[in-house]
Amino acid sequence: MTTLSKPSPAAQKQESPDAESGAMRRLRAAGLRTTRQRLTLAEILFADGLDRHVTAESLYARATEQGSKLSLATVYNCLHQFTNAGLLRIVTVDSGRAYFDTNLSPHHHFYYEKSGELRDIPASDVALSSLPEAPEGQRISRVDVIVRLDG
């Protein structure tokens, strides 16, 4: 007869739904499997609840500083999976520079050209007097304003 040993307290904690991290809940709610790589990156992106703008390179650097072993390609793949699942949005400031934004509410951005920093502008601080008609069969999904600063 096989007997099952009682799980260790650490194992019980991992299995307990109450002990599930916010990052894990967020991934599951978005329909993503909670792989080690995704969970590592989601913890960095979402654990403290602050809005942030990251590049794949800056997220990779942060993950490796914390001792995570993953490739830059994995970081890019996860960021695009998070974006496709609705957890992030991409802000493209030029053809070679894209940021991943954790703030999904309608807003715009200041882009500091010298430092590469991106900061939020509340949507209420930008007024657009008109927009062009969308081409036939299309609709405007959102408008992104990037105010470039030379500082």
Domains of the chain and any CATH numbers: 21-149 (1.10.10.10)
Closest CA to 132 of 124, 140, 121: 140
Average pLDDT (82-97) is 94
pLDDT range class, residue 20, cuts 50, 70, 90: low
99-127 average pLDDT score: 95
Contacts of 142 (CB under 8 A, 6+ apart): 106
Mean pLDDT in residue range 90-118: 94
Residues 38 and 57: their CA atoms lie apart, in Å, by: 16
pLDDT of residue 15 exceeding 80, the answer is: no
pTM: 0.81
What pLDDT is recorded for position 139? 96
Averaged pLDDT of the chain = 87
In percent, the amount of the chain with pLDDT more than 70 equals 87
Sole residue written with tokens 């007997």:
3
Express each pLDDT in 40-78 by its tens digit: 999 999 978 889 999 999 999 999 999 999 999 999 999
11 pLDDT more than 80: no
pLDDT at 74: 97
Judge whether residue 13 has pLDDT over 90: no
Residue 124 pLDDT class (50, 70, 90 cuts): very high
Asked if residue 2 has pLDDT above 60, the reply is no
Question: Helix or strand or coil: residue 123?
Answer: helix
What is the per-residue pLDDT for 49? 82
Beta strands per DSSP E along 1-151: 53-54, 89-94, 97-101, 107-112, 118-122, 146-149
